[in-house]
Structure 1
Amino acid sequence: MHKLIVTTSKGLDELLKTEVEQILNQFNLAPAIADTAHSEDSEDSPGDYELPTLQLQPGQVSFTGTLKDAYQLCLHSRLANRVLLVVAEGKVNSAEELYDVAKEADWPSQFDAYVPFMIQFNGTNNAINNSQFGALKVKDAIVDQFQEEGHERPSVDKLKPGIVIQARLRRDNLHLCIDLSGGSLHKRGYRTGAGEAPLKEHVAAGILMRSGWAQNKNSVLLDPMCGSGTIPIEAAMMAANIPPNLAKETWGFEHWNQHEPSIFDGVVEQAKKHITVPSAPIYAYDLSTTLVELAEQNAVRAGVADYITFKQCDVLDAVVIDATDGKLAAGNNASETVTSQTDSKGYIVSNPPYGERLGEYTSLLPLFDKLGHHFKKHFAFWHVSLLSSNQDLLKALKLRYTKSYKLMNGKLECVLVNYHISGQNLEIFDSQTDENHEFANRLRKNLKRLKPWLKRSNTNAYRVYDADLPHYNVAIDIYNDWVVVQEYAAPKDVPEEKAKQRLQEALIHIPKVMGIPSNKMSVKVRRQNKGKEQYEKVAQKGQRVIVQEHDAQFYINPTDYLDVGLFLDHRDTRLMFKQRCANKDVLNLFGYTGSVSVHAAQAKAKSVTTVDMSNTYLDWARDNFALNKLNGSFQFVQEDCLKWLTRQHAKYDLMFIDPPSFSNSKRMDDTWDVQRDHVSLLTDAKDCLKTDGEIFFSTNLRQFKLDQAAVEELGFTIEDITQKSIPEDFKRNQKIHKCWILTL
């Protein structure tokens, strides 16, 4: 008899306990029977069987059983990661105790000295707080024992070990085990390729069990977003009673001295006799032809390709066409829809895309919104089980769930949610349709109101919504064929869950109202940032879009930065500035991506100098000049604008100065605060300004107050152009910026 530990992923341990019981029951594995390979009594009768006592702990099940039990679990468990046979255990509160416990096992009886081994140390405590140190102490004990008993020193091989020893430390309890599995059992061997977020095989088996399909394998199964096919393949193996590891080529017990080949061979032969043909169809669809082909190849390797119908299909095109036998159709042939009004006709089990990044989540929201309606319309009385790491996406289905389970897919925390498309789920529809939803209505009205202005404005980059409804606290900007949504941080008195729900509603309605694909919508969270936080990178897609502004064109990046590269509220300011640039020496300080500089160059300025601290944005400015085919006396300077200004001897006719509100950049020796430092900045700027020269000075700090007396004392005449510099599409937000023309 042996103490056995069977491990699995977090969230599957209770299922594993049930599965172990079922396997031991099914094959009549009585623990009272000795591990005797040649005994005629090694095959017990059903009447002799007594289920061992199983102990459940987080991520594992342990019990005392036979070697045959261990072999059965290695072969048949669909949920296990490893099957471990305990060879020593004890209390460990010091390095010395760890060494002593490791030395209690008779290691030469477990494996020969010529067999390379490795230690996998799992867990820590106050005394052993480093797993590498723990593994080293166990290794020392094993090696010392071999040498003390006159054997050669065994070698450690972490790449190709013949024996893997698992050391599992929980608080002060240490178990030293022979890993019989030969690598994690979730690796069935059929999957040589997978999608971007592969579902582990044992997790796929777990969700099939949790969905209820595994207990009703004579029901139709559909995975409409099958990816590399893990769920339908695992289902087909279940339905055909094919042990998940029947084709496994290497095992952890092959170099173990106590391995009994005849017992294992008997287990394999017994398993083969139970293989059958599934009685119900299994469907595997995916939008990607590449993934469908990959899934088919994986199914061939698993030996179940004949039991699965694969098809390239959008999930929203999958419908039932024959409610009697559960046949499905997809695509253009699915115009006729018949659903049953009786009990459940089948199961949908799937691992849809999660949208871990905000941009991905945004593009998926409209899909999940439509998917909920699709299930109601075409899959009435079906069971639906979806695994996701993003519960907000699942909420977009607008379905009431019957059960949810938390589990891990690798290192990703996920939730499996079960629905039954019946009762209230067939009655529940959106309380507000697109036609009367207040946010959708306001957005529609804004688009209509701006239409005449757009015809005369000569731009395709503009704002259509700016927190018009306080509880839909977003700004929406159009850039050519892209929509950029900026979520303002919710007030402290608004619950986070409520704010999240409102944002989700907005993101669902925006593509519908504006008629854009969801993958052309970018979402960013805007808080009260300081300095150049608006320039910080939030993604890395390299997406570039060309927009029109008057006679100029600009590159914008809708995805990678908090700001896209063009401040829309300064559109009219740039035009006013442009009208003064002809034959002038122009300085654009804090130049960002050079939009002001482009307008100045187009206006035939004598020279244009663009200064910014960022090489990235100066390269962007150069690209904008190239886009507009501008050549001339143009200079791009990468430097701290404040320092650069103090060293200048050149004189300029016209300056555009739009500094950050605050900056503590590492490239600066000191901090910058526009309220505190604007007079000092304008003093230095005055020294570089020609007689009768002008400065356009702007800030978006809402609380900013120009020190008018100090600025006038410098000799400037001040004209406040704030109101006339705010464009039509920003009229709702009169505090979007403040702007003055300062003239010597």
Structure 2
Amino acid sequence: MKPLFATAPHGLEELLAEELRGLGLGGIRVRRGGVEFSDDLAGAYRACLWSRLANRVLLPVGQFEAADEQALYEGVGQIDWSAHLGPEQTLAVDFTGIRAAIGHSRFAEQRVKDAVVDQIRERTGSRPSVDTETPDVRINVHMAGTATTVAIDLAGDSLHRRGYRREGRIAPLKENLAAAMLVRGGWRDVATAGGGFVDPMCGSGTLLIEAAWLASDTAPGLLRTRFGFFGWRGHDESVWKELLEEALERQERGLKSLPNIAGYDYDPESVAASLAHLRRTGLADQISVEQREIARARPPADAACGLVATNPPYGERLAERHELIPLYLRLGETLKRHFPGWRAMVLNGADGRLGLKPEQSWQFFNGPLECRLERFEIGERRDEDCSEAAPDLVNRITKNLRQLARWLRREDVSCYRVYDADIPEYALAVDVYETTDGRWLHVQEYAPPASIDPARAQSRLRSALSVLPGVLETEPQRLVFKVRERQRGERQYARQGEREEFLEVREGPCRLLINLTDYLDTGLFLDHRPVRRWIGENAHSKDFLNLFCYTGAATVHAGLGGAASTTSVDLSATYLDWTRSNLHLNQLNSPVHELVRADCMRWIKDCPKRFDLIFLDPPSFSNSKRMDDTLDIQRDHVALITDAMDLLKPEGTLIFSTNLRKFRLDPSLATRYAVEDRTAWSIPKDFQRNQRIHQCWFMRPGK
């Protein structure tokens, strides 16, 4: 009998102990970071081959006290290394510690390597070499204070690496953590009773494969091409072959009665990865994987009950977390509506609320990320009308749609605001975008006041997000959710994501690109629709200047309206590229449409050209590092407008707009120019519930 130690991810020690008992291993004792056990060589091999939860299986070969690096060197040198490796072989050393007397792990590994190499060289005249990737023997050294344990790593590489994953692909969930989810979910008993298995966000297929192997009694180490004991001098090949033959026989029997297992994912690359991994495991013909959005996930046709297990995305940044709220709600809604009588295991790393109460939860660590593993027992189906969740909100949106319907048809409006915090309890702005790819919803939550109970606000938000796709006849995955707070200057234009998914919409004769996910705003300010259309209708044969042009929507209107020339100025290369794409989309890629990257405040002072029509819609505040000075529109608007008016031809028009709610136009401007307040006209019908959305003036030279 040999003393052995199986390491485990934090929090799985008790589960691992139970697993090792089930493998018939003896002397089980739970310890921090793993499980001690005692068994013969066959038992050690069995743990390596069959453990679904362990990371490594270690065979201690020496224990001693080491207060410093010299004591470590001497202690390692007392072990007879000829029993474990020869001079012709390779080795690697791993060092771990808890308040270790030697704090520098690389230095400790070097001293252990020196002790081993020096002993073998003294005895044989030659020495083994180092191979940190695939050594013949991997030595593990653990130091707790001064207490030092030296062991042979019989696994060689972490046992969670089963041997089927594609090289270089990042796995969001380690295989032994996936197995732990299934064990906590009682999957073996569910499968034995004839239940099915579904992962509605299957990613690269880890849970699918682990579920199939657990249900079919397949040893998780069967696909591994090497273990740490293969190059160890104490290895007994006959013992290993006997265990391997037994495992293969058990797998052959088990695969004959594999339960129904299905995986879905909205991402085609994830589906392709899952299928590739299933082919590597030989399970491609027995497990179904389809590209489906989570709302369309369904149980296998002949599975009346079973287990749903999934690892949703977490989102490490705040913006990503808020985008995940609709995803978790769709998962909860899908479970309630389509998986009654099933059990669900969800690894919740984003504090996402499914709208279901977990029956039990456990602390879990997916790498460094702390998560909750939640178990749900899904009750019988209740056919609920969507209005039951948030009836006031549904009724108001229905009313707004009815009031807007005729106007939308008459004005040919395809992107519009349907709700803007009409009810204080639901502080949301809801915009509809009819794109060439179908209807999308852009939902923004205004930051609630401190007086609102956060728990109640979250409950109402979940209710709202759950009903919006239904009442607005939109696929749930086409809802994008953000939290909108007061932004200053460039913050409202700052990138929040990296998806770079552009959608095409239509506004009058214009085709425009929007991005619903990567920025706080979408690239199209819907409240400026009347101004842009007026520009298009009045730009014929005129020279048009678009200052702080953003994504150039007004420029496109002017260009399609027959402008003699357009000049679009912005400091952001990103938005100038976006403007260029919008111009190209409308076949306006002509030299007469000029794009200028510059600080608008400085550029207008030096511009020699004069314009018939100028659109000036600056940010309320900007302190970009690329600007010579800050811009505060309340403080600087007189100088900015004066400089812009100097670029205006005698019969020209300047349109000035701002969304600064407390903005006051300086009265002195009216003594110098013909100033016309066009705010009421400029606010379209879908924004008339919020008269403070922006202010707008037309200005012309002279009185």
State if a TM-score over 0.5 links the two structures: yes
Give 1:348's match in structure 2, choosing from 286, 295, 307. Answer: 307
Give 2:339's match in structure 1, choosing from 375, 383, 391. Answer: 375
Contact 1:16–1:61 (Cα < 8 Å) also in 2 = yes
State the partner residue of 1:612: 570
Once the two structures are overlaid, the 10-residue window that deviates more, 462-471 or 95-104, is 95-104
1:325-336 to structure 2, matched below 5 A, reads 327-328=302-303
Q: Mark the CA change 1:102 to 1:610 in structure 2 (over 3 Å): closer, same or farther.
A: same
Q: Mark the CA change 1:312 to 1:580 in structure 2 (over 3 Å): closer, same or farther.
A: closer
Cα shift readout 1:478-527 (whole Å, capped 9, x = no counterpart) = 22232212222233333544444333322221211111222333223322
Give the count of matched residue pairs.
684
Q: Is 1:466–2:441 an aligned residue pair? A: no
Q: Is 1:688–2:642 an aligned residue pair? A: no
Contact 1:435–1:441 (Cα < 8 Å) also in 2 = no
SS of equivalent residue, structure 1 residue 742? strand
State the partner residue of 1:661: 620
Following the alignment from structure 1 to structure 2, what is the Cα–Cα distance between the partners of residues 720 and 312? Answer: 57
Contact 1:287–1:312 (Cα < 8 Å) also in 2 = yes
State the partner residue of 1:211: 185
CA displacement at 1:167 relative to structure 2? 3.0
Following the alignment from structure 1 to structure 2, what is the Cα–Cα distance between the partners of residues 195 and 147? Answer: 40
CA displacement at 1:583 relative to structure 2? 4.4
Letter in 1 for 2:8: T
State the partner residue of 2:680: 723
Following the alignment from structure 2 to structure 1, what is the Cα–Cα distance between the partners of residues 565 and 93? Answer: 70
Give 1:161's match in structure 2, choosing from 112, 135, 147. Answer: 135
Contact 1:612–1:637 (Cα < 8 Å) also in 2 = yes
Following the alignment from structure 1 to structure 2, what is the Cα–Cα distance between the partners of residues 197 and 256? Answer: 30
Following the alignment from structure 2 to structure 1, what is the Cα–Cα distance between the partners of residues 456 and 111? Answer: 53
SS of equivalent residue, structure 1 residue 548? strand
Contact 1:403–1:418 (Cα < 8 Å) also in 2 = yes
Contact 1:232–1:283 (Cα < 8 Å) also in 2 = no
Following the alignment from structure 1 to structure 2, what is the Cα–Cα distance between the partners of residues 123 and 18? Answer: 26
Give 1:418's match in structure 2, choosing from 369, 375, 382. Answer: 375
Contact 1:194–1:294 (Cα < 8 Å) also in 2 = no
Following the alignment from structure 1 to structure 2, what is the Cα–Cα distance between the partners of residues 533 and 468? Answer: 26
SS of equivalent residue, structure 2 residue 364? strand
Q: Mark the CA change 1:238 to 1:446 in structure 2 (over 3 Å): closer, same or farther.
A: same
Contact 1:17–1:56 (Cα < 8 Å) also in 2 = no
Following the alignment from structure 1 to structure 2, what is the Cα–Cα distance between the partners of residues 690 and 657? Answer: 15
Give 1:645's match in structure 2, choosing from 580, 604, 610. Answer: 604
State the partner residue of 1:189: 163
Q: Quote the sequence identity (%).
A: 38
Q: Mark the CA change 1:504 to 1:104 in structure 2 (over 3 Å): closer, same or farther.
A: farther
Q: Is 1:449–2:413 an aligned residue pair? A: no
Contact 2:208–2:262 (Cα < 8 Å) also in 1 = no
SS of equivalent residue, structure 1 residue 55? strand
State the partner residue of 1:36: none
Contact 2:87–2:124 (Cα < 8 Å) also in 1 = no
Contact 2:81–2:120 (Cα < 8 Å) also in 1 = yes
Following the alignment from structure 1 to structure 2, what is the Cα–Cα distance between the partners of residues 299 and 554? Answer: 42
Following the alignment from structure 1 to structure 2, what is the Cα–Cα distance between the partners of residues 741 and 222? Answer: 67
CA displacement at 1:536 relative to structure 2? 2.1
Q: Is 1:547–2:505 an aligned residue pair? A: yes
Q: Mark the CA change 1:172 to 1:692 in structure 2 (over 3 Å): closer, same or farther.
A: farther
Letter in 2 for 1:465: Y
CA displacement at 1:252 relative to structure 2? 0.7
Q: Is 1:285–2:249 an aligned residue pair? A: no
Letter in 1 for 2:395: N
State the partner residue of 1:113: 87
SS of equivalent residue, structure 2 residue 380? helix
Q: Mark the CA change 1:574 to 1:419 in structure 2 (over 3 Å): closer, same or farther.
A: closer
Following the alignment from structure 1 to structure 2, what is the Cα–Cα distance between the partners of residues 168 and 191? Answer: 29
Give 1:589's match in structure 2, choosing from 540, 547, 572. Answer: 547
Once the two structures are overlaid, the 10-residue window that deviates more, 136-145 or 636-645, is 136-145
State the partner residue of 2:16: 16
State the partner residue of 1:507: 465
Once the two structures are overlaid, the 10-residue window that deviates more, 725-734 or 552-561, is 552-561
Contact 1:211–1:349 (Cα < 8 Å) also in 2 = no
State the partner residue of 1:486: 444
Following the alignment from structure 1 to structure 2, what is the Cα–Cα distance between the partners of residues 678 and 261? Answer: 84
1:520-535 to structure 2, matched below 5 A, reads 520-535=478-493
Following the alignment from structure 2 to structure 1, what is the Cα–Cα distance between the partners of residues 166 and 576? Answer: 45
CA displacement at 1:652 relative to structure 2? 2.9
Letter in 2 for 1:419: F
CA displacement at 1:264 relative to structure 2? 4.1
Cα shift readout 1:335-389 (whole Å, capped 9, x = no counterpart) = xxxx7xxxxxx5314226447456566456435413312222xxx3x44434443
Following the alignment from structure 1 to structure 2, what is the Cα–Cα distance between the partners of residues 695 and 737? Answer: 16
Following the alignment from structure 1 to structure 2, what is the Cα–Cα distance between the partners of residues 465 and 90? Answer: 71
State the partner residue of 1:255: 231
Following the alignment from structure 1 to structure 2, what is the Cα–Cα distance between the partners of residues 187 and 101? Answer: 32
Contact 1:531–1:661 (Cα < 8 Å) also in 2 = yes
Letter in 1 for 2:230: E
Following the alignment from structure 2 to structure 1, what is the Cα–Cα distance between the partners of residues 71 and 664? Answer: 71
Following the alignment from structure 2 to structure 1, what is the Cα–Cα distance between the partners of residues 126 and 690? Answer: 82
Letter in 2 for 1:639: A
1:17-56 to structure 2, matched below 5 A, reads 17-23=17-23, 26=24, 51-52=26-27, 54-56=29-31
Q: Mark the CA change 1:638 to 1:182 in structure 2 (over 3 Å): closer, same or farther.
A: same
Contact 2:182–2:309 (Cα < 8 Å) also in 1 = no
Contact 2:61–2:79 (Cα < 8 Å) also in 1 = yes
The TM-score with structure 2 as length reference comes to 0.86
Could you tell me which runs of 5 or more consecutive residues in structure 2 were left unpaired when the two chains were aligned.
Answer: none
State the partner residue of 1:47: none
Cα shift readout 1:618-649 (whole Å, capped 9, x = no counterpart) = 23223333333445733221111111112223
Q: Mark the CA change 1:420 to 1:561 in structure 2 (over 3 Å): closer, same or farther.
A: closer
Give 1:385's match in structure 2, choosing from 333, 345, 349. Answer: 345
Q: Mark the CA change 1:292 to 1:427 in structure 2 (over 3 Å): closer, same or farther.
A: closer
Q: Mark the CA change 1:544 to 1:259 in structure 2 (over 3 Å): closer, same or farther.
A: closer
Q: Is 1:733–2:687 an aligned residue pair? A: no
Contact 2:312–2:346 (Cα < 8 Å) also in 1 = no
Cα shift readout 1:688-723 (whole Å, capped 9, x = no counterpart) = 3344544222211112222323x356x234332222
Following the alignment from structure 2 to structure 1, what is the Cα–Cα distance between the partners of residues 145 and 462? Answer: 43
Following the alignment from structure 1 to structure 2, what is the Cα–Cα distance between the partners of residues 137 and 366? Answer: 55
Following the alignment from structure 1 to structure 2, what is the Cα–Cα distance between the partners of residues 639 and 548? Answer: 29
Following the alignment from structure 2 to structure 1, what is the Cα–Cα distance between the partners of residues 410 and 190? Answer: 65
Following the alignment from structure 1 to structure 2, what is the Cα–Cα distance between the partners of residues 673 and 91? Answer: 67
Contact 2:262–2:300 (Cα < 8 Å) also in 1 = no
Once the two structures are overlaid, the 10-residue window that deviates more, 672-681 or 270-279, is 270-279
Following the alignment from structure 1 to structure 2, what is the Cα–Cα distance between the partners of residues 274 and 615? Answer: 62
Following the alignment from structure 1 to structure 2, what is the Cα–Cα distance between the partners of residues 297 and 720? Answer: 63
